[in-house]
Amino acid sequence: MDPLVITVASTNVNWTKKNSPYMPETPQEIAEDIIKAYEEGAAVAHIHARDEKGNTTFDPKYYRKIIEQVRKHCDMIIQISTGGPPAPVEEKLAPIRHLRPDMASLNIRGTLEEIEYTANTMKELEVVPIIEAFNREMIESANDLIKGGLVKQPAHFELVFDLVTESEKTVLEDYDEMIRRVKAIFPGSIWSRNRGAHNQFPLDVATIMLGGHIRVGLEDNLFLTREQLARSSAEFVKRVKHLSVELNRKVANVEEAKELFRSHTE
C-alpha cells in the first residue's frame, strides 16, 4: 500500500472568525496555518486565497503571498483551488496561469463546456488536476474526461463529503457512500477523501485502511470533536498521522508524495 499523503486545507470561502476564532482569514494567517500543518506531517497544501480583509479572492497576488510565505519554510506540493464563489472561468484560472502550481482543483460543476475548458487549460499548463467529486454523478462525468484524454492517468480524485453544517448522516451511511464512490472512479486512479461532518474520524480510519489519502483542515471542519473547536489545521493533521501509524501505514513526506504523483507531475 502506498504511504498516506495528507493534504491540508486551511480556509474555505464561507467560514470566518465569527464561526471560529481560529479560522485563518488573511494571507499571513493562511500561510502560518499551512506551515504548522506541514510540521505535523502534511505534504500538500490546498489553497483558497483571501485578501487582507478576509474576503475570498481569485486575484493571483494573494495566492502568491501565501505561496511565497510557505516556500520560505518548506517545499510542500502546492494545490490551488478553483472552487468558491461564482466567478467567470478565466477569473478562477488566473492564479493557475500566473503561478503554475503543482496541482489545482478541477471542480465538476458548471457547464460541460466550462469543465472541459478548465481541464484542457490545466493539461496545457502541465498542472495536475484534482477532480473534486461531491457525488457519483460527478465521478461519471470525470471518467468521461479521462476517457476523452482531457485528464491523464493516473487521475486524482478528491471525494468530498458533508460539512458539519450540512449533515447528520450515520457513519454507516457515509461509509456506504464512500465505498460506492471508490468503486465508481476510473480504474487505476488515485483517490483522497475529505470532510464527513461528525463522522470524519471514523471515515479517516476507513480511508487509511482502504488505501486512500486524506485532506483535513479548517476548510473542512471546525471541530476536532463534537464539543471542541480545532485551534489549527495542524491538529487534524496530527490526529490523522497518529491514526495512520497505529494502523501500520506510513505517512508520506513531501518527496514521497511527489514520487507517488511523479508520473503525472513531471
Task: Look at residue 263 and tell me whether its pLDDT is greater than 60.
Answer: no
pLDDT digits (tens, 9 = 90+) for 45-94: 999 999 888 889 999 999 999 999 999 999 999 999 998 888 999 999 99
All domains in the chain, ordered by first residue: 6-265 (3.20.20.70)
Task: Look at residue 150 and tell me whether its pLDDT is greater than 60.
Answer: yes
Task: Give the other-Cβ count within 10 Å of 165's Cβ.
Answer: 10
Task: Look at residue 151 and tell me whether its pLDDT is greater than 70.
Answer: yes
Task: Look at residue 161 and tell me whether its pLDDT is greater than 90.
Answer: yes
Question: Does an H or E element contain 194, and which?
Answer: strand 190-194
Among 136, 81, 133, smallest CA distance to 109 is for 133
Among 247, 138, 145, 131, smallest CA distance to 194 is for 131
Query: Under 8 Å CB-to-CB from 219, ≥6 apart: which residues?
Result: 9, 10, 11, 12, 15, 46, 48, 233
Task: Look at residue 265 and tell me whether its pLDDT is greater than 70.
Answer: no
The answer to whether the CB of 253 falls within 8 A of the CB of 5 is no
Mean pLDDT of 170-177: 94
How far, CA to CA in Å, does 18 sit from each of 15, 23, 25, 29, 222? 8, 9, 11, 16, 12
Mean pLDDT of 123-149: 96
Q: What is the pLDDT of residue 169?
A: 87
Q: What is the pLDDT of residue 167?
A: 65
User: Can you tell me the distance from the alpha carbon of 252 to that of 262, in angstroms, rounded to the nearest whole number?
Assistant: 14
**pLDDT band for position 264 (cuts 50, 70, 90):** very low
The answer to whether the CB of 82 falls within 8 A of the CB of 93 is yes
User: Can you tell me the distance from the alpha carbon of 132 to that of 138, in angstroms, rounded to the nearest whole number?
Assistant: 8
Query: What is the pTM assigned to this prediction?
Result: 0.95
Task: Look at residue 266 and tell me whether its pLDDT is greater than 60.
Answer: no
